[in-house]
Structure 1
């Protein structure tokens, strides 16, 4: 598997197809990794399209990755790390691959990665697809801090060199924020990047968060009924049409 060397670790990635690039951020929270896109052989089927296959078939290059400290990627975890650390990885990967401009498409935590990419490099991100975006659930504000505590236990058990204070600081930077955690409503309200929303409907992907995104994002396209198996074709066709419409000429 190809590897991007970072100053504090390594990021594993794969590319599929040829054409204008789409950087994919897989579902899975802090365990976001490439294997989350295809349905496992033993089932059950995913409710989302496998974009590593659908995008190349539509004439795009799909760039999939294991986020730092997920899947095969391993990197440092410091107290001052946060959403900006992931965004730096994402920009470094596209620099390494030679892609100046690109679309972003993210499921689950990937929706927040998309918004952070749009804030970090709006001149590079041609459009963003937010699939089942995470957010602070009004009735379950403890969900992501609790999930971070479980992830911390996994990391500490696997890597004895890690520091618990650094992991706690990292968790604060990731989750001690409202809304979508990575950016504020003011940025979303003036987001310069065209967006497409596949709304969420459960505790980690609150309907209230998606409704607020739909109300705030300028000109956002929304596909309410998108989950498989009944809506996979429409999900694929609408997202591909959106990406093609926002692909720069030439």
Structure 2
């Protein structure tokens, strides 16, 4: 079980396959874990689906209750703390440029990575991305204060509910709009190719996913719904595979040379 360590942070990660690097961000909110990719919370497991063509890397979130990563609760910079971990793992593995696919909370994570390291991310896939619902502004705050927070404090007694409150407030109440981590102007000016697979449940609002797709100048969108019935999932996977191939640097260089 490989581990990336930096100061008080310890991140458990796993790899599968070989080829151009593909960072895989599991869903599950603040309980995002490697194990979640194999459970029903994930429509499919990219570590299995894409290991034949890519060097797939994934990790437990540092505060996932059932995960094996750990680190301080940085109450003043929650989103950036997680970006530090994600970029840190890639640095640890000697990876500069990479692609990324993320579920659920992976949506806001990916937009933040595109803001933090735009030159490193070649293309991104946002599957059932999280977003803000104006009619339910405290959806994520309340859910994490009732579920994730008490469970985390039970596992990590050095963390208090007061710290959890500040942390979740900073994440979801300080700028409770759109995709949480970036502005509409950022998305409008982001040149990185993105493929968006929208969902339509309270935590994954269809309207926000589609607005992101409309704003991003190099975006593509899957059919909708793409995971119900389940027989549609293989078609979505084929679209993701085609998208990744189209933007993989070696393939792109060959295509440009042919032109």
Q: Shorter-chain-normalised TM-score: which range?
A: over 0.9
Answer 1 or 2: higher relative contact order, Cα 8 Å, separation at least 6: 1
SS at match of 1:75: coil
**Separation in structure 1 between the aligned mates of residue 238 and residue 139 of structure 2, nearest angstrom:** 33
Q: CA deviation at 1:86?
A: 0.6
The alpha-carbon distance between structure 1 residues 163 and 132, as it changes in their structure 2 partners (threshold 3 A), is same
**Separation in structure 2 between the aligned mates of residue 9 and residue 123 of structure 1, nearest angstrom:** 25
User: Hey, what does 1:67 align to over in structure 2?
Assistant: 61
User: Residues 12-58 of structure 1: CA distance to partner in whole angstroms, max 9, x if unpaired?
Assistant: 0100000001101101000011111124xxxxx5662210111112x
Cα contact 2:195–2:243 (8 A) shared by 1: yes
Q: CA deviation at 1:168?
A: 2.2
User: Hey, what does 2:197 align to over in structure 1?
Assistant: 198
**Separation in structure 2 between the aligned mates of residue 74 and residue 49 of structure 1, nearest angstrom:** 26
- Between 1:225-234 and 1:89-98, the stretch displaced more is 225-234
**Separation in structure 2 between the aligned mates of residue 7 and residue 80 of structure 1, nearest angstrom:** 18
Which of 150, 153, 156 is the aligned partner of 1:156? Answer: 153
Which of 135, 138, 155 is the aligned partner of 1:139? Answer: 135
1:127 matched to 2:126: no
- Between 1:79-88 and 1:97-106, the stretch displaced more is 79-88
The runs of 5 or more residues in structure 2 that have no matched partner are 254-259
Which of 145, 167, 171 is the aligned partner of 2:168? Answer: 171
User: Hey, what does 2:256 align to over in structure 1?
Assistant: none
Question: In the comparison of the two structures, how many residue pairs are matched?
Answer: 244
SS at match of 2:14: strand
The alpha-carbon distance between structure 1 residues 47 and 168, as it changes in their structure 2 partners (threshold 3 A), is closer
Cα contact 1:126–1:246 (8 A) shared by 2: yes
Q: Which runs of 4+ in 1 moved over 3 A?
A: none
The alpha-carbon distance between structure 1 residues 210 and 180, as it changes in their structure 2 partners (threshold 3 A), is same
